Amino acid sequence: MSMLTLNGQVLNVFDQAASTDKETGEIRPAKSRVQIMAENELQNGQKRHELVNLTAEDPDLYRKLAGKVVSVPVGAFVASGTVMFYALKGQKPSILAAATGAAPARTAEPAPGRGPGAVA
């Protein structure tokens, strides 16, 4: 069982071409990505929609889920002050009840006095 899940609507699946890191010359392999629209509830009660891109281990699975609200087991890390998510390998998304809508993308907003991307 995953500690974190990303809940939202599957909008798109696309293929990202291989690329080369300009600083190191390392070649990054091509990969498939899924775009999920998540809803993040703010501390003031307002909602912010957020498009999250995840690497898709099985892009055909996500293509079949296009338009559906899903829950995806994820991990998270901070890069350049922004929380980034990745789908956990070997884990599959599950369909959520349509009436729930897109649920929060994060478990918490930044704690007061912490920088952007900090999670309480």
90 domain residue, yes or no: yes
114 domain residue, yes or no: no
User: Residue 53: its pLDDT value, please?
Assistant: 95
Q: What is the pLDDT along the chain (120 residues), one digit of tens a residue?
A: 778 999 999 999 999 999 999 999 999 999 999 999 999 899 999 999 999 999 999 999 999 999 999 999 999 999 999 999 999 999 999 999 864 444 444 443 343 444 444 443
Indicate the number of domains in the chain.
1
CATH of residue 77: 2.40.50.140
Q: Which domain holds residue 52?
A: 4-18+27-100
Q: Are 36 and 6 in contact (CB under 8 A)?
A: yes
| C-beta neighbour count of 84 within 10 angstroms | 15
User: Residue 98: its pLDDT value, please?
Assistant: 61
DSSP single-letter state for residue 48 = E
pTM strictly above 0.85? no
DSSP single-letter state for residue 59 = H
